[in-house]
Amino acid sequence: MKNFTIVSVLLSVFTVTSFTSLAQPKSDFLKDRNVLEFSSRSYASVPQYNKQSQVRNDEARSSFVATENCTSLQFKFAQLIDSDIESIANTYLYNFIDEWWAVRYRYGGSTKRGIDCSSFTGKLISAVYGVELPRTAREQYANTTRINRMDLQEGDLVFFNTRGGVSHVGVYLKNDYFTHSSSNTGVTISSLNDPYYSRKYIGAGRVNKELKEESIFE
């Protein structure tokens, strides 16, 4: 009887130990499996996040470098004509405008003590594009080729009827902005969409090819 009791106790201990040892690996296995699945999901999401971040960083870096390489002149005129800084590329053009900026209007004038609209456009076109224009707005209109407003390009002339007939002229820049010598503010930049200039607008002209050739070989 005593031996039977001892055997029973030993069998009970062995059984409990066996089940415990079997159950423990299963629990650890499930735990490890969950950790692996979580790690896999997390790892899978990392490349996509890093890729998007890299793209954003590259774009920001490119924008910073482009902005850093721009001049104060480009900043100034980009704001004035509501344009990207990089699009202010014709430095001869914008330097000329900057040099004459705010010079007062003077009818018949042609110096920095005072200049009228057609003298200003004539000087600008000559200095920037090497083309000589006639003196008056009316003559400049007659010596340019008519173009549609939608076809305007930098350096084209825009004409207005402010005192009867062709009486005012400016040089087109971009985004519907043009530079001119205004009787109110002197050399400045205005918009073709301004109610006053929109109402007074006559048309646009491009310098004739013949006139360019003549000025080049003079």
Catalytic residue set: 117, 168, 180
Q: Which ranges in the chain belong to alpha helices (H)? A: 2-68, 72-80, 91-100, 117-129, 137-142, 195-200, 209-216
Residue 128 CA: distances (Å) to CA of 1, 5, 55, 58, 121: 122, 115, 40, 36, 10
Q: Give the single-character DSSP code of 162.
A: S
- Pick the closest to residue 150 from 196, 208, 192, 117 (CA basis): 192
Residue 210 tokens read as 């013949």
Between CA 206 and CA 140 the distance in angstroms is: 10
Classify the C-alpha dihedral 114-117-120-126 as positive or negative: negative
Environment class of 65 (CB within 10 Å of its CB; exposed 0-12, middle 13-18, buried 19+):
exposed
